[in-house]
């Protein structure tokens, strides 16, 4: 199973074990391999820069998500605070209405007392005369 090995000389008078066509093909393959390796390096650099940009954008998106959640919580808290404030104001209004009713009743009572006292004074003045 021994293959026949042919030894040849190339144009630079160097000894070659491969035939010149195979040697030229292997040189072409080597050149293509180097080009492929360089292309892969450029591709990796491009992918790396793309990953960096995407990571940066993901960070910005996450920050905006957190900010929006915070703002949503503020809005919810503001709505609750308004409801609480409204309840407090309704309570104060009801207290003031009750106080006004007490003062009105007291005023009417004082008017009756004043009228009774005027009538008493009038009767006493009529009895003296």
Q: Is 121 helix (H, G, I), strand (E, B) or coil?
A: helix
Chain Cα centroid distance, residue 100: 50
From first to last of the 129 residues of the chain, give the pLDDT tens digit: 457 767 777 777 777 777 777 878 888 999 999 999 999 999 999 999 999 999 999 999 999 999 999 999 999 999 999 999 999 999 999 999 999 999 999 999 999 999 999 999 999 888 876
Enter the pTM of the model: 0.49
């Amino acid at each position: 199973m021994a293959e026949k090995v042919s030894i040849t000389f190339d144009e630079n008078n160097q000894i070659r074990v491969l035939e010149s066509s195979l040697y030229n093909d292997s040189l072409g393959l080597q050149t293509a391999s180097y080009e492929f390796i360089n292309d892969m390096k450029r591709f990796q650099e491009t992918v790396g820069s793309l990953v960096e940009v995407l990571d940066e954008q993901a960070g910005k998106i996450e920050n905006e998500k957190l900010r929006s959640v915070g703002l949503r919580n503020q809005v919810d808290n503001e709505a609750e605070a308004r409801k609480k404030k409204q309840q407090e104001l309704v309570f104060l209004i009801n207290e003031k209405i009750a106080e006004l009713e007490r003062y009105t009743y007291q005023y009417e009572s004082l008017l009756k007392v004043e009228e009774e006292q005027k009538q008493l004074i009038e009767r006493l003045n009529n009895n003296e005369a």
